[in-house]
Amino acid sequence: MQVLVLNGVNLNTLGKRDPTIYGTLTLNELETQIYTWGHELGLTVRCRQSNHEGEFIGWIHDALGEMDGVVVNPGAWSHYAYSIRDALDILTVPIVEVHLSNIHEREEWRHHTVIEDVATHRIVGKGAQGYKEALEFIAQGGTA
């Protein structure tokens, strides 16, 4: 099973961003963990991160017909980028929306995401562990 793990805007600054909210792992360390978890689950994982919306959308388009599942944390784009929502909506494979922090317990504008209705499953507030659960969800067939 091929799984794409996408991290969006500002997630390259993990480790420098408020560690009380986002944890202490750098993106590189997080991706290393994700590759290890993927390997343990028998998944072929590809991690990518971008601060450029068009590039991010291009990767979602490329996943069509190629990937068996997508794990996505679009960062702040989650809250307003309908372009990313529409790109994800084209996919027919399980999509797991992940947020490191608990967006429901933060500022009001973070409570809603424009991708929640196209995501098959969502995991918030579990830090890096959320990505592990997302991979497990996809490995188990991607149904709740």
The residue ranges that bind ligand DQA (CB under 6 A) are 10, 73, 75-76, 78, 99-101, 103, 110
Q: Which amino acid is at 119?
A: A
CB of 42 to ligand DQA, least distance (A): 26
List the one residue out of 75, 71, 45 whose CA is nearest residue 60.
71
Q: Which residues contact 57 (CB under 8 A, 6 or more apart)?
A: 83, 84, 87
CB of 27 to ligand DQA, least distance (A): 11
CB of 20 to ligand DQA, least distance (A): 12
* Residue among 37 and 77 whose Cβ is closer to ligand DQA: 77
Active site residues: 22, 99
* Residue among 49 and 139 whose Cβ is closer to ligand DQA: 49
**Per-position DSSP letters for 50-85, written without gaps between them:** -S-HHHHHHHHHHHTTT-SEEEEEEEGGGGT-HHHH
